[in-house]
Structure 1
Amino acid sequence: MEVRNPSPDLYNEDLAPVKERNWGAFSIFNVWTSDVHSLWGYYLAASLFLLCGSFTNFIVAIGLGSLVIFFLMNLVGYAGVKTGVPYPVLARASFGVWGANLPALVRAIVACFWYGAQTAAASGAIVALLTRTDSFMAFHTSTRFLGHSGLEVACFVVVWALQLLIIQNGMETVRKFQDWAGPAVWVAMLVLAVGLCIKAGGFSFDHAIPTEVLVAKTKDAGVTGAPGSLGALLAVAATWVTYFAALYLNFCDFARYAPDKATVRKGNLWGLPINLLLFSLVAGVTTIAAYKVYGEVLLHPEQISAKFDSWFLALLAALTFAVATLGINVVANFVSPAFDFANVFPRRIDFKKGGYIAAGIALVLYPFAPWEGNAAAFVGAIGATMGPLLGVILVDYYLIAKGNVDVEALYREDGEYRYQGGWNIKALVATGIGALFSSILPNFTSLLPAWWGVYGWFFGVAIAGGVYLVISSMPRRAPRSVPSKA
Structure 2
Amino acid sequence: MTIQGASPALYNEDLAPAKVRNWGPFSIFNVWTSDVHSLWGYYLAASLFLFCGSLVNFLLAIGIGSLIIYFLMSMVGVAGVRTGVPFPVLARASFGIWGANFPAIVRAIVACFWYGAQTAAASGAIVALLIRNESMLAFHQSSHVLSHSTLEVICYVVIWALQLLIIQRGMETVRKFQDWAGPAVWVMMLILAIYLVIKAGGISLYGDIPMDVLLEKTKDAGVPGVPGSVEALMAVAAIWVTYFAALYLNFCDFSRYSPDERSLRIGNIWGLPVNLILFSLVAGITTMAAFQVYGEVLLHPDQISAKFDSWFLALLAALTFAVATLGINVVANFVSPAFDFANVFPRHISFKRGGYIAALIALVLYPFAPWEGGAAHFVNMVGATMGPIFGVMMVDYYMIRKGWLNVEDLYRETGEYRFQGGWHVNALIASGIGIVFSSILPNFTNWLPSWWGVYGWFFGVAIGGGIYYVLRRAALGAGATAARA
Deviations 1:385-440 (A, max 9, x none): 00000000000000001111000000001101000000000001111111111011
**Partner residue, 2:90:** 90
Unaligned stretches of 5+ residues in structure 2: none
Q: Cα RMSD between the aligned structures? A: 1.5
Indicate which of 466, 476, 481 corresponds to 2:478: 476
Please give the alpha-carbon distance, in whole angstroms, between the structure 2 residues aligned to 1:385 and 1:145.
32
Partner amino acid, structure 1, of 2:348:
R
> AA paired with 1:228?
G
Cα shift at 1:479: 6.6
Contact persistence 1:206–1:288 (CA under 8 A): no
Superposed, 1:204-283 pairs within 5 Å as 204-219=204-219, 222-283=222-283
In the superposition, relative to structure 1, how do residues 218 and 38 fare at CA in structure 2: closer, same or farther (>3 Å)?
Answer: farther
**Contact 2:44–2:376 at 8 Å: present in 1 too?**
no
Structure 1 residue 203 displacement after superposition: 4.2
Cα pair 1:220 1:376 within 8 Å, conserved: no
Superposed displacement of residue 214, structure 1: 1.5
The amino acid of 2:37's aligned partner reads H
Shift of 1:220: 6.6
1:346-385 correspondence to structure 2 within 5 Å: 346-385=346-385
Q: Structure 1 residues 259 and 50 mapped into 2: Cα distance closer, same or farther (>3 Å)?
A: same
Worse-superposed segment, 207-216 or 38-47? 207-216
Rounded Cα–Cα distance in structure 1 between residues aligned with 2:98 and 2:429: 15
How much does 1:441 deviate?
A: 1.1
1:65-104 alignment, distance < 5 Å: 65-104=65-104
1:204 CA drift (Å): 3.5
Listed one character per residue, the Cα deviations across residues 222-251 of structure 1 (whole Å, up to 9, x for unaligned) are 532111101001000000000000000000
Moved more, 50-59 or 148-157: 50-59
Which position in structure 1 is the counterpart of 2:48? 48
Identical aligned pairs, as a percentage?
A: 75
Query: What corresponds to 1:9 in structure 2?
Result: 9
| 8 A contact 2:81–2:259 mirrored in 1 | yes
Aligned partner of 1:170 in structure 2 is 170
Write the deviation string for residues 322-351 of structure 1: whole angstroms up to 9, x where unpaired: 111111100000000000000000000000
Task: Give yes or no for contact 2:55–2:207 (8 Å, CA) kept in 1.
Answer: no
Q: Is 1:223–1:239's contact at 8 Å kept on the other side of the alignment? A: no
What is the one-letter code of the residue matched to 1:49?
A: F
**Which residue of 2 is the match for residue 432 of structure 1?**
432
Q: What SS does the aligned partner of 1:417 have?
A: coil
What is aligned with 1:59?
59
Deviation of 1:217 (Å): 2.5
C-alpha offsets along residues 243-273 of structure 1, whole Å, 9 cap, x if unaligned?
Answer: 0000000000000000011111110100000
Q: TM-score, normalised by structure 1?
A: 0.97
Aligned to 1:484: none
How far, CA to CA, are the matches of 1:45 and 1:221 in structure 2? 14
SS in 2 for 1:434: helix
Counterpart contact for 1:392–1:427, Cα < 8 Å: yes
Q: Which moved more, 1:6-15 or 1:223-232?
A: 223-232
The aligned residue for residue 192 of structure 1 is: 192
For 2:298, the aligned partner's letter is L
Which residue identity lines up with residue 263 of structure 2 in the other structure? T
Matched AA of 1:84: G
* Within-5 A mapping of 1:261-410: 261-410=261-410
Aligned-pair CA distance for 1:306: 0.3
Contact 2:167 2:173 in 1 (8 A): yes
* TM-fit CA distance, 1:216: 2.7
Structure 2 CA distance for aligned equivalents of residues 257 and 140 of structure 1: 44
CA distance 1:245–1:221, change in 2 (3 Å): farther
- Residue identity opposite 1:476 in structure 2: A
TM-score scaled to structure 2, two decimals?
0.97
Q: Secondary structure at the match of 1:299?
A: coil
Distance 1:178 1:222 in 2: 34
* 1:466 alignment partner, SS class: helix
Aligned to 1:466: 466
Which stretch shows the higher mean deviation, 406-415 or 205-214?
Answer: 205-214
> Which residue identity lines up with residue 139 of structure 1 in the other structure?
F
| 2:434 matches 1:414 | no
Once the two structures are superposed, what CA deviation does each residue of 1:41-88 show, in whole Å capped at 9, x if it has no partner?
A: 101112222322233322321111000000000000000000000000
In the alignment, what sits opposite 1:37?
37
Q: In structure 2, the residue corresponding to 1:9 is in which secondary structure? A: coil
**Distance in 2 separating the partners of 1:246 and 1:284:** 24
What does residue 120 of structure 1 align with? 120
Partner of 1:136: 136
Letter of the aligned partner of 1:384 in structure 2? A
Q: Structure 1: which 5+ residue stretches go unaligned?
A: 481-486
